[in-house]
Amino acid sequence: MKRYPFFLTTFLGCVFCMLFVISCLGQQGIKNYKRFYGLLRDQNKDLLVLRKFEQGGRTQYLVTDPQELETRILPAGPEAVKPLTWAQAMDTFKETPYVKAMEAAQVKETPLQDAGIIHGFPKEKGITLTIDLCPSHKPLDRIIFTSLMKVFQRTEKPVPLALSITGRWMLTHNDDLDWLKNLVKSGDISITWVNHSYNHRVSPTAPLKVNFLLEPGTDMNFEVMGTELAMLQHGIMPSVFFRFPGLVSDPKLISKVLSYGLIPVGSDAWLAKGQTANSGSIVLIHGNGNEPVGVNDFIKLLQSEQKSVKDKQWMMYDLRESLEDEFGGK
């Protein structure tokens, strides 16, 4: 079989992904999707506009509530949007949990691995669960979700969790994605959809400083915006959070992600690496079939905490609410 150089296969893969996204956008009627910052007042709340696009002949905005860190789509209406530069947006909302979390993430930008927010801040004992869905030919580890629902069915429903999702995973896992969306519709779980880049390229031999998103030639605009577009095409709502593939970044990359209005989220408890989940930990496991050790460790953790769960002394925390509580000064 004829083999092609790595750079050529990478290029061809990017072209295929971009063509797929363009095709999806055509099906959804989404045009001119771009970064756009502004102030929009809706229902007596000041909202931050993050993206602007056209759909069905109408202007639409992806906005976030900077107090509660939730996102939604709003159509252009009678209330005018006040355009802002990114610096003006940060200043306008400087007292909100959103901007304070952004600033906290930038303070921790130096490490090559695990920069950004790495610890939740619950008032009780518990964890914030994040599950990464990197590109994989294997099916979703559904046991993670069924185990969560079984353990928390009487104490916490829906069970909150964050899914760090890649564009390429969405390309090949429609059934798994539909299954997850149905769990949300049924009220069994609630999901914060975290941007995990589109391609999640990784080299088994390259040093970290030129690996993952630090690979020379990486198109960060596509990695960020292409993933958001894929989310919208699949009917899921992009959040204000971003997780670096491999948790690898540098200060320049951190600043780049922040400039898209996204808060980098790391982890202080990557279970497959032997890190221990403590109260307030942002736990990381992979649910893409490639990390059975982490999945097994998490199932054991659930089993060991069943009594505490029953007594409501060990909870699952929503990533947005954890940061809202911490940076909102509550």
- pLDDT bin (cut points 50, 70, 90) of residue 329 is low
Last residue of a domain, one of 94, 129, 150: 94
The answer to whether residues 308 and 315 touch, using CB atoms and an 8 Å cutoff, is no
Q: Report the 10 Å Cβ neighbour count for 24.
A: 19
Over 60: is that where the pLDDT of 14 sits? no
Inside any domain, residue 2 = no
Inside any domain, residue 14 = no
What is the structure's pLDDT at 215?
98
Inside any domain, residue 66 = yes
Answer yes or no: do 315 and 171 share one domain: yes
Residue 161 CA to residue 145 CA, distance in Å, equals 10
Answer yes or no: do 152 and 71 share one domain: no
Last residue of a domain, one of 53, 70, 94: 94
Structure tokens belonging to residue 192: 């914060």
Strand partners, 234: none
Residue 250 CA to residue 56 CA, distance in Å, equals 39
Answer yes or no: do 278 and 266 share one domain: yes
Q: Report the 10 Å Cβ neighbour count for 49.
A: 22
Answer yes or no: do 123 and 232 share one domain: yes
Answer yes or no: do 43 and 146 share one domain: no
- pLDDT bin (cut points 50, 70, 90) of residue 107 is confident
Q: Domain span at residue 49?
A: 29-94
Answer yes or no: do 127 and 72 share one domain: no
Answer yes or no: do 70 and 200 share one domain: no
Inside any domain, residue 17 = no
Answer yes or no: do 170 and 280 share one domain: yes
Inside any domain, residue 18 = no
Over 60: is that where the pLDDT of 327 sits? yes
The answer to whether residues 97 and 326 touch, using CB atoms and an 8 Å cutoff, is yes
Measured CA distances, 49 to 74, 124, 193, 323 (Å)? 9, 33, 18, 20
Q: What pLDDT, in 10s, does the model give residues 24-35?
A: 444 468 999 999
User: Which of 25-34, 183-192, 225-234 bottoms out in mean pLDDT, i.e. has the lowest?
Assistant: 25-34
Residue 32 CA to residue 52 CA, distance in Å, equals 8
Residue 99 CA to residue 89 CA, distance in Å, equals 9
Cis peptide before 158 (omega within 30 of 0): yes
Q: Which H or E run contains 88?
A: helix 86-92
| Average pLDDT of span 208-214 | 97
Residue 214 CA to residue 212 CA, distance in Å, equals 5
- pLDDT bin (cut points 50, 70, 90) of residue 3 is very low
Instruction: Estimate to the nearest angstrom the gap between the alpha carbon of 172 and the chain centroid.
Output: 19
Q: What pLDDT, in 10s, does the model give residues 140-176?
A: 999 999 999 999 999 999 999 999 999 999 999 999 9
Place of tokens 């009220």: 187
Over 60: is that where the pLDDT of 267 sits? yes
DSSP 7-31: HHHHHHHHHHHHHHHHHHHHHHTEE
* Count: domains in the chain: 2
Last residue of a domain, one of 94, 120, 148: 94
Inside any domain, residue 12 = no
Calculate the CA dihedral of residues 13, 15, 19, 25 and round it to 10 degrees. 90
Mapped onto helix, strand or coil, the DSSP state of residue 216 is: coil
Answer yes or no: do 53 and 113 share one domain: no
Inside any domain, residue 9 = no
User: Which of 27-31, 96-100, 140-144, 187-191 bottoms out in mean pLDDT, i.e. has the lowest?
Assistant: 27-31
Answer yes or no: do 71 and 108 share one domain: no
Please report, for the domain that includes residue 266, its CATH number: 3.20.20.370
Proportion of the chain above pLDDT 70, given as a percent: 90
What is the structure's pLDDT at 230?
96
Answer yes or no: do 122 and 79 share one domain: no
Structure tokens belonging to residue 217: 């030639």
Mapped onto helix, strand or coil, the DSSP state of residue 91 is: helix
Answer yes or no: do 189 and 240 share one domain: yes
pTM tops 0.85, yes or no: yes
Inside any domain, residue 22 = no
DSSP 272-319: GGTPPP-TTBEEEEE-SSS-HHHHHHHHHHHHHTHHHHHTT-SEE--H
Which of 36, 112, 117 shows the shortest CA–CA distance to 74?
36
